[in-house]
Amino acid sequence: MSKMDSVVTEKYTLDTKFKFRCHKGIKCFTHCCSNIEILLTPYDVVRLKKRLGMTSGEFLGKYSYVKTDEKSSHPHAILKMNDDQERKCPFVTDEGCTVYTDRPANCRYYPVGQGTLKKDGKDGPVEEEFYFFIKEPHCYGFHEKQEWTIESWRKDQEVDLYDRVNRDWKGLQLRKNLIGQPELDPQKQTQFYMASYDLDKFREFIFNSNFLNIFDIDDETVGKIKTDDVELIHFGVRYIKYVMMIEETLKLKQDSGKYRKDK
């Protein structure tokens, strides 16, 4: 089963207890690192490209493929398994994960999954976060005695930082549940993918095109996104919301008209 399409049968909260231990001596060690579909988040790509000394484009070209979500038509980057019978993750060896401290958010959460539901609250729609367990037959970790709450597991796996950086982007994902959500045309899909994942290309687009002549972006933001990938992830979400016409997250400059045809 993939790490991204697990069926949720029961919903749990942060204080839910469970027993689990994953360690080098366990007989299933690394068995979970093959033949899986791991959806990458923007921050996963930032961490992994830095770890591997690559640009975002190089990383995505070598280690990912694009899968378009059926409901939302959002293009997602998926970690590419090796192209052989075992379909192992390119980063796994007998010694474990070679990018462990920069592994993707989904690998950190495992065997816990996280979901979000939009439901009606008294002041409008509210988001409800919930958790579930991914119990796969090959995983013996649940037979171990170490006890966790979902909260202590999250802390141990350092997922808070990933969630914090990816939060707004994940909010965009939620839109696939909205009825009447229009499909993205190919041009918008390209923009969505670039501003989500291919951040080096996005930065080049901002600084080497008429982008800053067209959009009124304050100097502080311009300074930050020039060098800081996390800031660029947040700005990317603003840009996607603008492109998808979800929110007027960007303002046009008064004289933008003369540049727009060149954009």
Rule CB under 6 A: choose which of 87, 138, 164, 263 binds ligand SF4.
138
101-120: contacts with ligand SF4 (CB under 6 A): 103-104, 107, 110
Cα separations in angstroms, 59 against 63, 79, 100, 183, 258: 6, 10, 17, 27, 36
Instruction: Pick the piece of the chain touching ligand SF4 (CB under 6 A) from 27-35, 115-123, 192-200, 242-250.
Output: 27-35
Q: Which is nearer to ligand SF4, 82 or 221 (CB)?
A: 82
Which string of x and - marks every residue 141-170 that binds ligand SF4 (by CB under 6 A)?
x-----------------------------
Which string of x and - marks every residue 34-73 that binds ligand SF4 (by CB under 6 A)?
----------------------------------------
Burial classification of residue 126, based on how many CB atoms lie within 10 Å of its CB (0-12 exposed, 13-18 middle, 19 or more buried): exposed
- DSSP designation for 250: S
Taking CB under 6 A as the rule, does residue 99 contact ligand SF4? yes
Taking CB under 6 A as the rule, does residue 89 contact ligand SF4? yes
Taking CB under 6 A as the rule, does residue 199 contact ligand SF4? no
Q: Which is nearer to ligand SF4, 113 or 192 (CB)?
A: 113
The rounded distance, in Å, linking the Cα atoms of 77 and 65 is 6
Residue 197 CB partners (closer than 8 Å, separation 6+): 40, 42, 45, 56, 60, 64, 77
If phi over 0 gives left and psi between -120 and 50 gives alpha, with beta otherwise, what is residue 44?
alpha
The single residue listed with the structure tokens 């909205």 is 178
Rule CB under 6 A: choose which of 28, 212, 217, 243 binds ligand SF4.
28
| Shortest distance (Å) from residue 176 CB to ligand SF4 | 24
> Over the Cα atoms of the chain, what is R_g?
20
Amino acid type, 142: F
Query: What 3 state SS string does 168-182 have?
Result: HHHHHHHHHHCCCCC
Nearest to 177 by CA among 247, 116, 240, 239: 116
Taking CB under 6 A as the rule, does residue 32 contact ligand SF4? yes
Taking CB under 6 A as the rule, does residue 91 contact ligand SF4? yes
Instruction: Pick the piece of the chain touching ligand SF4 (CB under 6 A) from 117-125, 132-140, 165-173, 246-254.
Output: 132-140
Question: Does residue 101 sit in helix, strand or coil?
Answer: helix
The rounded distance, in Å, linking the Cα atoms of 172 and 184 is 13
Taking CB under 6 A as the rule, does residue 31 contact ligand SF4? yes
| Shortest distance (Å) from residue 33 CB to ligand SF4 | 3
Q: Which is nearer to ligand SF4, 141 or 188 (CB)?
A: 141
- DSSP designation for 18: E
Instruction: Pick the piece of the chain touching ligand SF4 (CB under 6 A) from 87-95, 125-133, 226-234, 251-259.
Output: 87-95
Contacting positions for ligand SF4 (CB under 6 A) = 22, 26, 28-33, 89, 91-92, 97, 99, 103-104, 107, 110, 138-141
